[in-house]
Chains A and B, each alone.
Chain A
Amino acid sequence: MSASHVALVVGQEFRIRLRTGRWRWLLGVWVLLLALFTILLDTGLRTGYGSEEDNSLRGVPLFGFLMCFILGSMLVISPALTSQAVNGDRERGTLATLQVTRLRPLEIATGKLLAAWGVGLVALALSVPFAGYALYRGGIQVERMAVVYGVVALLIGTVCAVSQALSALLARSITSALLSYVVTAALTIGTVIAFGLALPLVSEERQMRAPFGGVEYTYTVQRADQVWWLLAPNPFVILADSAPRVPPRLTREGYEIRWESHDPLSAIGWEVRQLRMPPDYTVEDNGDGIRYYDSEGTEIPPPDELPVWPFGLGFAVLLGVASLAVTSVRLRTPADRLPRGIRVA
C-alpha cells in the first residue's frame, strides 16, 4: 500500500465532499446545537448542585452528559458519511474508472475511509470548546478529557468503516444506509436488549438457611457476571468505562464517594464493572480500605480492577479493521462474482 496513493484518494474525496454539501450550514447548525445543549445543561445543573463545594465539581456531570450527547450525535452522523462510499460511486459510474487505475483496492478503501473519518473528526473537533467549558467548570482532568475524546474519535472511525463495508456489500445505497443505522442501533440499543433477555437464562437457584436455625429457602441469583460481555460492544459503555476515574473524594461526613452519581460516564462505568462481580459478594471496610469477598468468603478483586472497556474497544477496533478488509476485498478486480443487480460499469 502506497501512502501517496492513499493521500491522493483522501484529497479527492475531501474535495468532492467539501464541494457537494452545504457544509458551512450543517456545521453551523451542529455548533449551535452543542451551544444550546451546553447552556441548558449548565443551567440545569446549577439548580441541582446546591453547595459551594459540589458546585466546584459541576464540570463532571456537565462533561459526562455533553460527551454522551456528542457520541449519540456522532453515531447518527457517521453512518451517513460512508453509507454510499462504494455503491454510490458505482451508481454514479465513477467507481470502475477508479478501479482501472494503478490504485489498489486497499488504497481506495483506506482513502475513502480516512476522508469520511476526517469529516467526522472535524465535527468532533468543533465540540472541543464546549468540553473545554466543562473543564473550566471544574472536576475534570485534562487526561480524562483526552481519553474520552480519543475513544469517541475511534468509535466514529469504526462506525464509518462498518457503514462503508455495507456500501461495498450491497448494491443499493439506500439499503446500505438503512442497514448501517440498523447496525448502530444494534450496538447501542440491541446490546442492552440482548443483555436484558440473556439475564434470566443464566439465573440460578440457590439454597439458604435462614439465620438462627430457621428454615431453608431457595432464592434466585442473576449471574450477570456470565453475560456482562453482551454490553461490552455498546459505544456508551465503552466510552463510560474507558474514561479515567474522577479522583475519589470524601463527603463532609468523611465517607468516600466512590463514583459520581450525577455523571452518566461514572455511573455507567461503575454499573458495568459491578456486573462482572460474582453474585452475593460482600464488602467489608475494616479501616484499612474496602475489601471484597465472594459468597465463599474468598477475597476477590474490586470492581475497579474488572474493566469492561478493553473488550469493547478491542471489539470496535476489530470490527473496524474487518470492515476495511471487507471493503477492500469487494473492490478487488478482476471481479469473479458480482452482487445481484450490479453492473461493473
Chain B
Amino acid sequence: MEPVVTPGATGVLVEDVWRSFGDVNALRGMSLTAPYGQVTALVGPNGAGKTTLLLVLATLLRPDRGRALVAGVSPTQDPDVVRSRVGWMPDVFGVYDQLTVGEYLRFFGAAYNLGRAAVAAKVTELLSLVHLSEYIDRPVHVLSRGQKQRLALTRALVHGPRVLLLDEPASGLDPRSRVELRDILRGLAAQGAAVLVSSHILTELEEIADRVVLVAGGATVAEHSMADLRAAANRTYRVRATNGPALADALTHRGTAFSTVDGGAELAAMSEEQAADTLAALVSAGVRVVAFEPLGGNLESVYLALTEERR
C-alpha cells in the first residue's frame, strides 16, 4: 500500500469519483493519487474510464459525485486556477491545419495569458525539446502523425504546468519518438511535475512510470509502485548458455522446473529473489550463462491477469 499523502504534496488526488453518461456508468468510485515528482501510469482495458477521468481532471467534465483535487485545487469549483496549473493532452485531437507550428503554439501561449516575450522563449525551448525546431514556420498540415502528437505535447506544456495529464500520448509515435517521449516525461517528473499518463503500451509504461494505477469498469483495482510490482511479480525467465546440456543438467540437479526451448531453457514463474538465487547457482555450478532474462513485463503480466478475471 502507498503511504497516505497529504493533499498539498499530491499533484492529483481522486477520491471516489463517479460519472455517468445517460445509463452508462463511466466512473464508479475511482480513486487514485499522482504525487509530484513522479510519473503515474493509468492502466486498464478499453472502457475502464481512463479518458473520462482525465476529462474530469482537465476541468472539462463535472463528476456526479466524489472529490478531485488537481494541483491542490478542485477542478469543479475553481476550474480557472486548475487550468493555469495543468497541461492536458487528449487521446484524439485536432490541430489547426492552416496555421504554422509557431502560430499554433503562440496562440495557445496567449490563451494561457503568457506575455509575448515569454511565449516566444517558451516556444523555442519546447520545440527544440520535441525536435520540431525546424518546423516553426511550416504549416501544421505538413507534420506527420507522430510530429503532430509531439506538437500536441508541446501545446500541453506551453504554460509550464505542474500537473500533466496525458491520454495515450505514445500512440502513433515511432520507436525513437517513444524513447524521446519517455525521456521528456522523466525529465518533467524530475523537475517536480506530477505526470499522469494513460497508455496501452505496457512495456513502455514500465520504463516511464514510478507508480501504476490499475483501473477496470470505472473503478480502481489496485495502486502499486513499480518497485513493489517488480519485487512481487512472479515471472518466467529464459536462460541461454554456451553449453545447452550442461545448463539442463544443472537445472535438473537444482530441482528447478523448466522446459527446453531452442538455444536454452524457460524457467517456471519465480520471484526476483528466486531468480537471482538460480542465476548464482548456475554460475557457481560452472554453467557458462550468456543470457538470463525475464519474459514479458511486470505490468503486462499484472494487466493480463486483471483482464483475464474480467472475461
Across-interface contacts of B112 in A (CB, < 8 A) = 101-102
Q: How many residues of chain B have a CB within 8 Å of chain A?
A: 35
Q: Give the residues from 102 to 131 in chain B that come closer than 8 angstroms, CB to CB, to chain A.
A: 103, 107-108, 110-113
Closest to A108 in B: B111
A5, B60: Cβ atoms closer than 8 Å: no
Name the contact of A334 in the complex, choosing from B76, B95, B152 (C-beta under 8 A): B76
- Binary per-residue interface labels of chain B (78-92) against chain A in the complex, 1 for a CB within 8 Å, 0 otherwise: 011001101010111
* Contact partner, B90, options A20, A89, A93, Cβ 8 Å: A93
Q: Are A20 and B60 in contact (CB under 8 A)?
A: no
Known contacts A99-B60, A100-B60, A336-B62; decide if A15 and B94 are in contact (CB<8 Å).
Answer: no
User: Which among B58, B84, B93, B113 is the interface contact of A93 at CB below 8 angstroms?
Assistant: B93
Closest B-chain residue to A338, C-beta based?
B21
Instruction: Give the CA-CA distance A5 to B94 in the complex, in Å.
Output: 21
Known: A333-B59, A334-B79, A336-B62. A98 touches B98 (CB 8 A): no
Task: Return chain B residues, CB-CB under 8 Å to A12.
Answer: 96, 107
B62 touches A15 (CB 8 A): no
Is the beta-carbon distance between A344 and B55 smaller than 8 angstroms? yes
Contact A345 B56 (CB under 8 A): no
Tell me if A103 counts as interface (CB < 8 A to partner B). Answer: yes
Q: Which residues of B contact A100 (CB under 8 A)?
A: 58-60, 83, 86, 88
A334 with B56: in contact, given A16-B96, A100-B83 (CB under 8 Å)?
A: yes
Chain A contact residue count (CB 8 A cutoff): 27
Q: Is A97 an interface residue (CB 8 A)?
A: yes
Determine how close the nearest CB of chain B comes to the CB of A1; give it in whole angstroms.
Answer: 13
A-B pairs under 8 A by CB, number: 82
Task: Indicate whether B5 reaches chain A with its CB closer than 8 angstroms.
Answer: no
Chain A residues in 8 Å Cβ range of B86: 100
- If the complex has contacts A100-B60, A334-B59, are A15 and B99 also in contact, measured as CB distance less than 8 A? yes
B35 CB-CB contact with A under 8 Å: no
A94 at the interface (CB under 8 A from B): yes
- Measured CA separation A335–B92 after assembly (Å): 18
Confirm or deny: A92 has a beta carbon within 8 angstroms of a beta carbon on chain B: yes
Residue of A nearest to B155 (CB): A97
Decide if A19 is an interface residue (CB 8 Å cutoff). yes
Contact of B98 among A8, A16, A89, A334 (CB under 8 A): A16
**What CA separation (Å) do A20 and B140 show in the bound complex?**
13
A92 touches B107 (CB 8 A): no
Give the distance to chain B from A322, nearest Cβ to Cβ, in Å. Answer: 24
B49 at the A interface (CB under 8 A): no
Residue B61, interface by CB 8 Å: yes
Whether the pair A334, B103 counts as a contact (CB closer than 8 A) is no
Residues 89-118 of A contacting B (Cβ, < 8 Å) = 89, 92-94, 96-103
Question: Is B62 a contact of A101 with CB atoms below 8 Å?
Answer: no
Instruction: Check A101/B108 contact, CB under 8 A, given A93-B90, A335-B60, A338-B21.
Output: yes
Please give, as numbers and ranges, the residues of chain B lying within 8 Å of A16 by CB-CB distance.
96, 98-99
Given A93-B92, A93-B93, the answer on whether A334 and B107 have CB atoms closer than 8 Å is no
B75 at the interface (CB under 8 A from A): yes
Complex Cα–Cα for A97 and B167 (A): 13
Expressed in whole angstroms, the Cα–Cα distance for A8 and B116 within the complex equals 12
Task: Say yes or no: A345-B90 contact (C-beta < 8 A), given A94-B95, A100-B83, A102-B84.
Answer: yes
List of B residues within 8 angstroms of A15 by Cβ: 98-99, 103
Question: When chains A and B are docked, how far (Å) is the Cα of A96 from the Cα of B58?
Answer: 10
Given A15-B103, A102-B113, A334-B61, 7 more pairs with CB closer than 8 A: A8-B107, A16-B96, A97-B155, A100-B86, A102-B84, A333-B60, A333-B61
Can you sample 15 A-B contacts with CB below 8 Å?
Answer: A8-B111, A12-B96, A12-B107, A16-B99, A20-B98, A97-B90, A97-B108, A97-B152, A99-B60, A101-B111, A102-B83, A335-B62, A343-B92, A345-B55, A345-B91
- Counting from the closest, the 10 A-B pairs by CB-CB distance are A93-B94, A101-B111, A19-B98, A334-B62, A92-B94, A345-B90, A94-B94, A93-B93, A333-B60, A344-B60
